[in-house]
Amino acid sequence: MASSRDGYSWTEKQGLKSGVPCIGTIQPPTNLDRASTEVFDVIVVGAGYCGLTAARDLTTSGILVADNPGSRLGLRTLLIEARDRIGGRSWSSDIDGYSFELGGTWIFWGQANVWREILRYQMQDELVSSYDFSKGLNKYILVNTERAQHFTHEEEDEMMESGLRKLVNVDGEYGKRVIPFPHTAAFTAEALRYDKMSVADRLSEIKDSLTPNELSGVEAFVLLCSGGTLETTSFFEFLHWWALSDYSYQGCIDYLVKYKFRGGQSSFAIRFFREALASGNLSYAFNSPVAEIDDTKDFVTVSTRDGKQYRAKRVISAIPLQVMNNVVFNPPLPSGKRTAASIGHVNQCVKVHAEVRNKDLRSYTGIARPENGLFYAFGDGTTPAGNTHIVAFGGQNGHFDPEDNIGTTARKLQGLVPMDIERLVFHNWSKDEFAKGAWFFSQPGLLSNHLGDMRARHGKVIFGSSDWALGWRSFIDGAIEEGTRAALTARTDLAPSQLKGKL
């Protein structure tokens, strides 16, 4: 299996190694003829789930002119990607027969867009649960500066649910009145108000009602979601996650951290890519960071950093918000979009996988507050070697670069629970120039001021990203939602005029 440049792995024997195996690495990186001067129907910039969905939908479907049945169906599409692999912020590495998820991981059947694809590719029986509460150390361990307390998982659930319900219960209906319908761009008046607040603001309102352990749990859970700080986390956006998760802690667990692919996210993403490829309509160029998108002529010209130029009738930009201002747009992006991009999101999640020799840790969950760098962790699987796979999360609070000093990283893991580490696997999203952070999470005000700006098209350039999805924003589901929307927009644009009203 080819390795991506992305990611790190460490074992005592091997030391720290940059680049990990990934079935989503595409070799050779392009199928373009060097001399090609084709004007594509659509160029898709970015091969994460949004771009992959758009490329698949465009290449495999299209509009036939009704009175010209011989015309070609399916749109000629060029997929341009800065990295050497598909998947964007969701990708997995297969090491010794086991998948480590370097980015977005979990999906659930209540997420319409991703679940539809899982059914479509008949992968519903390839899911595994991250949790297994049948092993020895079947505990929730809450570490703070004074001590480590052990609880059963039932006690964990009770504390988390009780704390979170106090956090979200701004309306006597646990957030349901504020966000009755979590799949719309329309904000209720109350929702607007809560987007002006941070979670820190909200916590200061209710802190007297929370027990110290509830507060620790709530803080850790919110920071797990946002990857920011309590001050930079929009309270509305947290409520939105809560609403999407059926307004319950159990829903949060089911939706956010439970089911993953046995073969890893890249085993799913590759299905989209292969299907697009099988259409015969897909060209692609990996290792091709985009420098400029020029929409001042009949066709849009996309220039890469290495000086290549490609032309198309439409461009779908699946460039993440956080790095959008790295690309020159001509004409310049409208100020709302530029402002949103310069504000960016707050998520500097640090996700570290540890393969450990402690079998009992399979059933462990725990948090360490307030300042351990890695503050939330749980048993995430059992490797073929019989070791336990622990996944641990940090964020903006006490942010660190795990590759800088493996000893420090190991100590932060030990700060959660003692473990005998055999292997570490991680990707540094904060230093990733094509992401500059992990999944989207908004600071107060960004969504109510700029969601519409982020979603708007700009001339012949259509913008799609999980970062501004309506429903499962920040999730794989939202990326597919947006890829679907972007492809349909381009397809409608390019339809013969007599068909436009009919789609």
Ramachandran region, residue 322 (left: φ > 0; alpha: ψ -120 to 50; beta: rest): alpha
Within a 10 A sphere around the Cβ of 131, how many other Cβ atoms?
18
Which residue lies nearer to a copy of itself by CB, 206 or 495?
Answer: 495
φ/ψ of 304, rounded to 5, equals -95, 165
Taking the complex as a whole, the smallest distance from the CB of residue 365 to a copy of itself amounts, in Å, to 19
> Which has the closest alpha carbon to 318: 494, 479, 103, 111?
479
41 CB-near residues (< 8 Å, 6+ apart): 58, 75, 76, 77, 312, 313, 314, 490, 494
Please give the size of the binding site for a copy of itself, defined by CB under 8 A.
Answer: 51
Structure tokens belonging to residue 59? 């290449």
CB of 115 to a copy of itself, least distance (A): 3
494 binds a copy of itself (CB under 8 A): no
- Beta-carbon contacts of 450 under 8 Å, excluding residues fewer than 6 positions away, are 336, 337, 339, 340, 343
CB atoms near residue 126 (< 10 Å): 14
Distance (Å, whole) CA 395 – CA 406: 17
Judged by CB under 8 A, the residue of 1, 2, 39, 73 near a copy of itself is 73
Name the minimum Å distance from CB 183 to a copy of itself. 5
Q: Is the peptide bond before 402 cis (omega within 30 degrees of 0)?
A: no
When asked if residue 61 is in the footprint of a copy of itself (CB under 8 A), the reply is yes
Of the candidates 409, 467, 392, 403, the residue with the CA atom closest to the CA atom of residue 431? 403
- CB nearer to a copy of itself: pick between 55 and 350: 55
Q: Tally Cβ neighbours within 10 Å of residue 27.
A: 10
Among 21-29, 183-191, 202-210, 440-448, which window interacts with a copy of itself (CB under 8 A)? 183-191
State the Cα–Cα distance between residues 367 and 370, nearest whole angstrom: 9
Please name the residues in contact with 186: beta carbons below 8 A apart, sequence gap of 6 or more.
none
Minimum CB–partner distance for residue 274 and a copy of itself (Å): 5
CB neighbour burial string for 69-87, b if at least 16 within 10 angstroms, e if fewer: eeeeebbbbbbbbbbbbbb
Judged by CB under 8 A, which of 410, 445, 471, 494 binds a copy of itself?
Answer: 471
Q: Does the annotation place 393 within a ligand binding site?
A: yes
259-278 binders of a copy of itself (CB under 8 A): 274-275, 277-278
CB-based contact 249:198 (threshold 8 Å): no
CB closer to a copy of itself out of 12 and 125: 125
Pick between residue 19 and residue 452 the one whose CB is nearest to a copy of itself.
452
Among 12, 125, 208, 433, binds a copy of itself (CB under 8 A): 125
Cβ proximity of 180 and 242 under 8 Å: no
Q: Please identify which residue in 64, 137, 406, 410 interacts with a copy of itself, judged by CB under 8 A.
A: 64
Binds a copy of itself (CB under 8 A): choice among 2, 27, 36, 72: 72
Which member of 182, 227, 320, 394 binds a copy of itself (CB under 8 A)? 182
**Residues contacting 302, CB < 8 A, separation 6+:** 43, 45, 80, 290, 292, 293, 294, 309, 310, 311, 312, 315
Q: Which of 12, 28, 145, 186 binds a copy of itself (CB under 8 A)?
A: 186
Q: Which stretch binds a copy of itself (CB under 8 A): 150-158, 177-185, 203-211, 418-426?
A: 177-185
Near a copy of itself by CB under 8 A, which window of 187-195, 199-207, 333-341, 482-490?
482-490
Q: Which residue from 5, 120, 150, 431 is in contact with a copy of itself, where contact means CB under 8 A?
A: 120
Min dist CB 465 to a copy of itself, Å, is: 15
* HEC sequence for 255-282: HHHCEEECCCHHHHHHHHHHHHHHCCCE
Q: Which of residues 366-395 bind a copy of itself (CB under 8 A)?
A: none
Min CB(108)–a copy of itself separation in Å? 9
Q: Which of 79, 30, 141 is nearest to 417 (CA)?
A: 141
Residues 88-117 that bind a copy of itself (CB under 8 A): 109-116
Residue ranges at the known binding site for FAD? 81-82, 290
Contact set with a copy of itself (CB under 8 A): 60-66, 68-70, 72-74, 109-116, 119-120, 122, 124-125, 127, 181-184, 186, 246, 251, 274-275, 277-281, 470-471, 481, 484-485, 488, 495, 499, 502-503
In the annotated binding site, the residues are: 81-82, 290, 393
